A and B are shown apart, each in its own frame.
Chain A
């Protein structure tokens, strides 16, 4: 009976994996086709047009675009996660007035969609003379409501405050406690947030759309959309671009997957 259940589980997992991976398979296979041939039938096997599609993609400043996206996403991720972790630490460990009000305010910022504030943000960036640079696409992530909320929740449940108190008794400063004691304890939360911020920043469309006014500042989503014009879309080239665009995300998942399932706080405090 147990064997039967196990086989059933594997079968179910196999089916779900197949369903999840099929679009990726088609994305890769379709990227080897000429646009006009993609939809003539079901493209199950690769074609021979990949070189032309790659040529189309790389003919339009794709390397710099890729670098821009990498830089934007890496910077956004690093600073956002650091700021969010600090917010989470402060909100969990310190006791101060209006703490609840502040938490509510953080949650409130999550409820306002980006579209509402985009004009104000554009004016802010223009006033700071940052239009025409990559910074507007990075600064947006620095103070991120979701990141702060995520870390508040995570640290609240994963960090035993006894660690902080013990460190203070041993004479450690706040910066040292945060970097050497707290940070390792909240590693899974940090890595998950890293992944999410990187993913959102990488795929962000609206903010780059309004701030990118020259090919030099292009990001991947704007670049890929730009492979279409009003009358004809080069799906083959777009899919090739998407294949390249997926690589960093896949790497991030592969590198981070082990940590997502490891609860580092387990056993942090001996009973």
Chain B
């Protein structure tokens, strides 16, 4: 009997312990109530109405430094908790930690959401009127879709007063709606180039100097000629590139053709050159058959068989340094034949369903991260991210400095001086991500089927577009 009583007591205490985890947790100081559909709708309308007004005043204001501060979350002394959904832990963990050190009254609760699920989760939260985070990470390939949601604060308006001209010209309009609302601030500039392994470059080209290499690879045809030679000389073991997907990604982002012009999706024009060059590279053994982004493909960063890797700024830490930790001193960065281009990136916006205190606290963070010396330096030192705010580049030492991993090459000056200044971004479209998904499928198909021509690939892509692009008012060419 005693044992029975003890068992029951134990079971009840265990259940009580578990129930504790099931509570609503109203002690976190989170002032945000569930954003009802009605509220969300009203707020969105309000934002839209506001945006329709005259924004001439805001445009002239200086967004930088302390002047850009919106509501002062610290002034009241009350603790404010704001929320953030993101996939980019490498960025937000050190940034939030440092920010909260100097802003003890603001607590940021971050929830990791996988990149592939992110937009769906946001859409579902809006559709059901559920709680949105205070700050949202907006992927650049879905930026037009985010603009359509109508749930973001216009950062050019009071109390934010961000001047878009504070950012690099090529990127300042990406998170801006047609009627001039700025829904987010770019996390980082994403200049891209070609990374290479110095030992293999010396072996096959007699030099590891980035400028001399750029001279050798002046045209896309040079990649085919040299890549073919390397493969033949190595007896078929060495390739210029590791993955067709990576090559397609580079060529696609370097192409200045807009995905959409008015009511036309320019698929054929956008994809013909990309697939044509990819097929030529495949036929001449310039590119290996690894599927881009897979662990097997990532393992090639540390091998001795692949030379070139299309490389956005963020890939230096995410791909190169993490996949080839012993490769310090053996990497270089050179300008591709296509010129500098931008690949990837995202912006951070504030949701208009948040409370005023939360919006003020979120702005406090954004202002700190992108407009103050401490925040900008934190991004540089902890994440190797460089903000798109132009004024920081007035100090030549900001983006400069020898990188030992790249054999002392001044990566910052190269990417943010030489490459970033020459970038021209194509116009964004709500179908960007769809076309990118199709591009990835085609790259895999081209590499898997040696008989597939560029025309076949484009035709297959057009069929996919017809299935996936559901807007009947659009013409797919």
**Chain A residues in contact with chain B, CB under 8 A?**
35-40, 60, 64, 67-68, 70-71, 74, 118-119, 122-123, 126, 129, 131-135, 209-210, 212-216, 225-226, 228-233, 235
Contacts and interface: CB of A to CB of B under 8 A. Distances in A.
Given A132-B34, A215-B109, A230-B88, 4 more contacts: A36-B298, A119-B124, A214-B25, A215-B112
Given A71-B22, A209-B121, A226-B113, A131 B130 contact: yes
A129 B34 contact: yes
Given A67-B21, A213-B83, A215-B109, A225 B114 contact: yes
Interface string B117-154: 10011001101111101000001000000000000000
A132 B302 contact: no
B132 to A, nearest CB: 9
Given A226-B112, A226-B113, A235 B124 contact: no
Interface stretch (B318-326, B363-371, B389-397, B459-467): B318-326
A39 B18 CA distance: 39
B34 A131 contact: yes
B211 to A, nearest CB: 28
Contacts of B131: 131-132, 213
Given A131-B130, A229-B87, A229-B89, A210 B318 contact: no
B111 A214 contact: yes
A118 B130 CA distance: 12
Given A126-B130, A134-B22, A229-B115, A210 B83 contact: no
Contacts of A70: 18
Nearest to B127: A119
Contacts of A118: 124
Contacts of A131: 34, 130-131
B318 A231 contact: yes
Nearest to B322: A232
A66 to B, nearest CB: 11
Contacts of B139: 230
A68 B18 CA distance: 8
Nearest to B112: A226
A225 B117 contact: yes
B21 A214 contact: no
A212 B87 CA distance: 14
A40 B117 contact: no
B299 A214 contact: no
Contacts of B37: 123
Nearest to A121: B128
30 contacts: A35-B295, A36-B302, A39-B296, A71-B21, A119-B128, A122-B124, A122-B130, A123-B128, A126-B34, A126-B36, A126-B130, A132-B25, A133-B22, A133-B24, A134-B22, A209-B121, A210-B121, A210-B124, A210-B130, A213-B85, A213-B111, A213-B130, A213-B133, A214-B25, A214-B109, A215-B112, A225-B114, A226-B112, A231-B315, A235-B295
Residue picked from B36, B128, B133, B344, most chain A C-beta under 10 Å: B128
A204 to B, nearest CB: 14
A37 B120 CA distance: 33
Contacts of A37: 299
A229 B24 contact: no
A237 B325 CA distance: 18
Contacts of A122: 124-125, 127-130
**Chain B interface extent, by class:** 35 or more
Contacts of A60: 112
A134 B115 CA distance: 23
Task: List 7 tightest A-B contacts by C-beta distance, closest first.
Answer: A122-B128, A226-B112, A230-B115, A39-B295, A231-B318, A71-B18, A225-B114
B217 interface: no
Contact of B125 (A39, A74, A210): A210
Nearest to B298: A36
B23 interface: yes
Nearest to B132: A213
Nearest to A231: B318
Contacts of A233: 295
B90 interface: yes
Nearest to A211: B130
B314 interface: yes
Nearest to A37: B299
Contacts of A215: 109-112
A165 B163 CA distance: 82
Interface in B40-94: 83, 85, 87-90
Contacts of B127: 119, 122
A118 B88 CA distance: 27
Residue picked from B89, B295, B298, most chain A C-beta under 10 Å: B295
Contacts of B128: 119, 122-123, 126, 210
Nearest to A230: B115
A229 B318 CA distance: 10
B318 A232 contact: yes
Interface string B215-243: 00000000000000000000000000000
Given A122-B124, A229-B87, A230-B115, A36 B314 contact: no
A162 B444 CA distance: 64
Nearest to A138: B22
A115 to B, nearest CB: 10
Contacts of B34: 126, 129, 131-132
A34 to B, nearest CB: 9
Contacts of B315: 231
B111 to A, nearest CB: 6
